[in-house]
Amino acid sequence: MNALARRQFLKGLGVSAAALPFLTGLPSLGLGATGQRKQRVVVMFSPNGTIPTAFWPDATGADFQLKDILSPLAPFKDQMLVLKGISNKVRGDGDSHMRGMSCLLTGTELFPGNIQGGSHTPAGWAKGISIDQELKNFFQSRPETRTRFGSLEFGIGVSDRADPWTRMSYAGPNQPVAPTDDPYQMYQKLYGQLRDKETLRSILDDVREDLRKVASKISAEDRRLLEQHAEFVRQMEKELTADDGRKYRATPPTFTAGVANQNDNVPALSRMQVELMLNSFVNDFARVATLQYTKSVGQARMGWLNITDNHHTLSHESDGNKDAADKLTRINKWFCGELAYLVKRLSETREPDGQGSLLDNTLIVWANELGKGNSHTLDNIPLVLIGGGLGFKMGRALDFKGTAHNRLHLALAHGVGHHIKTFGSPHLCEAGALSLA
């Protein structure tokens, strides 16, 4: 991952709760409690495949055991679905990594282009919309599910470049959506205006004082102009203090300043992003989110696990290299641990309208670009679904024996009431949506 030395980020955080329109306490009827439960979908991404023997449960059905990589999710086993046998069957231009990444959520081929991977033909962007954006559009099209942003794309250690390895979300053909991997920048996006307002309010009194002092020293005719000006300042002050009608359930998280966007801070950055996502859900800023850890071919160096090798490099070691397999297992287990943290936070946070926990109304999909790093296989993509948001029958391990992943996207769409017949390449949808309910 790049050491982003020149990268500027906003420090100076915290919007003082006292000054802002936040509600705490009991749910109020005014907060969109239509009786309809909310539905949310989160897609989490980690790269370079998995270690199959440490990932896949041996049995299928409700009676399955979690292996090492998935062990952090043990407290939520009954809310999980482990899906084996799902393949990314999209072919066409681009090498397996590029297709693994940019066809993962789009289910459609890449444009021919000028970006050359390690093999195959060069490629451009994906030819279609990704499922997270498809769901976002669906939610935004209906007043009852519309939110301020629709979707939020979070990243951790993504890198500055825009290419088919760093983008999995697409608003349409040739329209990649960039994740925000700087939590301060995401904070600014969500709360920047509020913070500006607070700073502004803190100086308006002084500005009026300035105008008054100055006005006393000039001629009567000129004074009139300054008096008018002072009146507008006073009005602005009043308007800033007044209730703008919008209420927030949760105060934004407090971040320590100065967490640089660098490899070694990935654990801290991960938690910051998760807290922001949680906060966004409580305040209903969005109902769709992505959480992208690094990128396809990601080279995280997980020093906090005492691993000094880079992720992608490790993933190319042969199966026989026990040391590499051990490290890769711990790396993937770390990713799972971050997922478990997100799940735990969702499970312990109540819905503002009182209808269960956030986890009850959210479905998280943890996906990967590849089945296995050293073979670049696109079969048996490690897939874990967790949460009650789409009403699937959870607490099982399933094996679909090599079916197209487009069918999973169809299941997600149908799960929120968006009854599309195909998603991505139509010929990969012929067997219809996966039956997960």
Can you tell me which of 163, 181, 284, 369 binds another protein, judged by CB under 8 A? 163
241 near another protein (CB under 8 A): no
- CA distances for 112 relative to 170, 218, 223, 267, angstroms: 16, 70, 68, 36
Residue 161: CB partners within 8 Å, gap ≥ 6? none
Q: CB burial class (10 A; 0-12, 13-18, 19+) of residue 119? A: exposed
Q: Which residues pair with 250 in a beta bridge?
A: none
How many alpha carbons lie under 13 Å from residue 97 in its C-beta half-sphere?
A: 22
Angstrom distance (rounded) from CA 118 to CA 53: 26
Binding part of the chain for another protein, among 221-229, 262-270, 406-414, 418-426 by CB under 8 A, reads 221-229
Tell me if 430 contacts another protein by CB under 8 A. no
Which residue in the set 19, 31, 33, 214 belongs to the binding site for another protein (CB under 8 A)? 214
The verdict on 14 binding another protein (CB under 8 A) reads yes
Among 28, 53, 202, 254, binds another protein (CB under 8 A): 202
Provide CB contacts within 8 A for 367, sequence distance 6+: 43, 44, 45, 104, 105, 381, 382, 383
Nearer to another protein, 146 or 224 (CB): 224
Does 221 help bind another protein (rule: CB under 8 A)? yes
For 191, residues 6+ apart whose C-beta sits below 8 A from its C-beta are 15, 252
Which range in 137-145, 231-239, 375-383, 407-415 contacts another protein by CB under 8 A?
231-239
C-beta closer to another protein: residue 23 or 233: 233
CB of 380 closer than 8 Å to CB of 398: no
Q: Using an 8 Å Cβ cutoff, are 395 and 78 in contact?
A: yes
- Would you list the DSSP string of 253-273? PP--TT--SSGGGHHHHHHHH
Q: Are 261 and 7 in contact (CB under 8 A)?
A: yes
CA 255 distance to own-chain centroid = 18
Site string for another protein, 258-287 (x = CB under 8 A): x-----------------------------
112 binds another protein (CB under 8 A): yes
Positions in 335-394 near another protein (CB under 8 A)? none
CB-wise, 23 or 207, nearer to another protein? 207
Which CB sits closer to another protein, 150 or 164?
A: 164
Q: Which stretch binds another protein (CB under 8 A): 66-74, 157-165, 337-345, 393-401?
A: 157-165
Q: Does 322 bind another protein (CB under 8 A)?
A: no
Where do contacts with another protein occur on this chain (CB under 8 A)?
Answer: 6, 8, 10-14, 111-116, 121-122, 124-125, 161-164, 174, 192, 196, 199-200, 202-204, 206-207, 210-211, 214, 217-219, 221-222, 225-226, 228-229, 232-233, 235-236, 257-258
